[in-house]
Chains A and B, each alone.
Chain A
Amino acid sequence: MKQILVISGKGGTGKTVVTASLAALVNKKVMVDCDVDAADLHLLLHPIIKERHEFKSGKRAVINKNACQGCGRCLAVCRYDAITSNYRIEEFSCEGCALCSRVCPCNAIRMEENTSGEWFLSDTQYGPFIHAKLGIAEENSGKLVAKIRQVAKELAEQQQLDYVIIDGPPGIGCPVIASLSGVDCAVVVTEPTLSGLHDAERVMDVAQHFKTPVKLIVNKYDLNLSMTDQIESMCQKRTVPLIGKLGFDKKVVEAMVEGKSIVEYANGTLSQELRNIWKKVQD
């Protein structure tokens, strides 16, 4: 069983569009959406939710107004600006370190377990799909990513599937690191822009930092051919295989509006290129 992750560094380069096509092209796999704070893959895979699980992670401080004597010790130790001057916890800022509750001389602060999201095991016409929804303004997305990846891996082992295909989050921080750990290949999708190049290099640095093999796809490559050349030579310098170039095509948005992957929507050059890409991912 192999785990393949699609990432990008920069957002909006076409990760999910590529991942959804893999859902249609790859046999014997489980799909996972690790972009838990702005998940979109479900819009193309149309899951029927079979199991729904609460995701509890971390704790948050709650101040009992009646017991609080306003001594200010909690304010003095909190490093997250999470306590207001009138002794209210700003729930979005509290990171759950519990130091305030430990230093409070009146036992006025308790820590409450926090439900920070939900995850789902679903059926789709492409096979099983594990996805999640981080609660609004919640943290710990890295832990939620780790959780659903573990569920997907166990399911793949149980059902003797060949692949776990993961749609990753943008950026290079905690959810990306949680998505990268232990994958067999990270496929970076970028676009021929200065930002696309800059951000792809940073996320490739992260992948290489964690010793993950990387392959690269340029999406909308024909919007700027000389930038595409620059990305190509960057790949050569890093000895990263460039495994495909997808042209700009308004059909991509049309397919999305129809709720379909591009390989199902149109049988043109894009679909052919995506089939080639999948071959090269396996090499």
Chain B
Amino acid sequence: MLKGKKMIISIASGKGGTGKTTVAVNFALSLKDVQFLDCDVEEPNAHLFLKPIISEEKKAYIPIPEVDEGKCNYCGQCRDVCAYNALAVFPAKDDKKGHWLLFQNLCHGCGACRLLCPQGAIKEVDKEIGRIGIGQSYDIQFIHGRLNIGEAMSPPLIRQVKQHINPTKTVIIDAPPGTSCPVITTVKGSDYCILVTEPTPFGLNDLILAVEVLRKLQIPFGVVINRADLGDSGVEKYCEREGIPILMRIPFSKKIAVLYSTGIPIVQEDPSYKEKFVRLFEHICQTYKL
């Protein structure tokens, strides 16, 4: 760990709707010198609670190929090297012109077609996939990504949001649900991950998957149990058996549910949660010697 570098802590869950954003937002509001990244670019919600003033909006692009029909001899090399079947090439036949076709939604922007075109006929152009908003909320530097409607691939946008990480601040990252590429892209490089779950069979099933992901990525983690008094004891027993620390239990309360529904962070109404989150942060820092 570099001197002066602060922690990057991501908040993830496996199952959706367990309270990731609640924990991430209230955690961020309880600490000093924080940068907040909302990497749930498909359904970003943190701005509804932090209400940042967005001072800068950038478009996020991926490179996609464009062909110069004057140089292209329709040899089909680009089609053959494309691992995603995103290109179709039809050679000229009789008096019909050749034809080069890109299926944009399949393109991963890897650049193989451009680099390997023997004619140098392909260049790359920008295709917008989403927007990145940068702003300020209270003392928190706020950054989020919003994937454009109809766009399939979120990882390139998540990577671009993460390029804004400021290592001199404590970085809190709100992750998307699930266990596949968007989650991996988000939590990769984190010093610690908080998994938020609920004590139900669904919560447990998805927690186990999320734990497997973090173990594979070798990221240390602990669990926050939300709505801790609803459901059964499966999550508690699992954590005990696996030696996974339970960092906090948040009971179900109609008051918390109503605050959430209207976009009000808990710590603003109940400062005792602020102390809990500060203690949680100190615990993580001490345990991981930062």
Contact = CB atoms under 8 A, between A and B. Distances in A.
Contact of A173 (B84, B152, B217, B257): B152
A278 B81 CA distance: 48
Contacts of A205: 149
A42 to B, nearest CB: 9
B45 A253 contact: no
Given A99-B112, A224-B261, A12 B180 contact: no
A10 B16 contact: yes
Contact of A77 (B18, B111, B154, B217): B111
Contacts of A12: 15-18, 177
Interface string A7-21: 011111100100000
B181 interface: yes
Given A170-B177, A250-B230, A137 B16 contact: no
Interface residues of B, number: 60
Contact of A43 (B83, B188, B202): B202
A169 interface: yes
B108 A170 contact: no
Contacts of A224: 257-258, 261-262
Contacts, number: 191
Max chain B C-beta neighbours (<10 A), residue from A80, A134, A199, A253 = A253
Contacts of A139: 180-181, 184
Contacts of B200: 253, 256-257
A11 B15 contact: yes
Interface stretch (B3-11, B94-102, B208-216): B208-216
B201 interface: yes
A92 B216 contact: yes
Contacts of B177: 11-12, 38, 170-171
A244 interface: no
A283 to B, nearest CB: 27
A89 B177 CA distance: 26
Interface in A114-152: 134, 136-139, 141-142
Given A134-B179, A136-B212, A141-B180, A102 B81 contact: yes
A28 interface: no
A40 B153 contact: no
Interface of A: 8-13, 16, 37-40, 43, 58-59, 77, 79-81, 92-93, 95-99, 102-103, 134, 136-139, 141-142, 169-177, 191-196, 198-199, 202-203, 205-206, 209-210, 223-224, 227, 250, 253, 256-257, 259
26 contacts: A38-B15, A39-B205, A40-B201, A40-B202, A59-B83, A79-B109, A93-B188, A95-B108, A97-B84, A97-B110, A98-B81, A99-B81, A99-B110, A134-B180, A138-B180, A169-B178, A170-B43, A171-B154, A171-B177, A173-B152, A176-B42, A193-B262, A205-B149, A224-B262, A250-B230, A253-B200
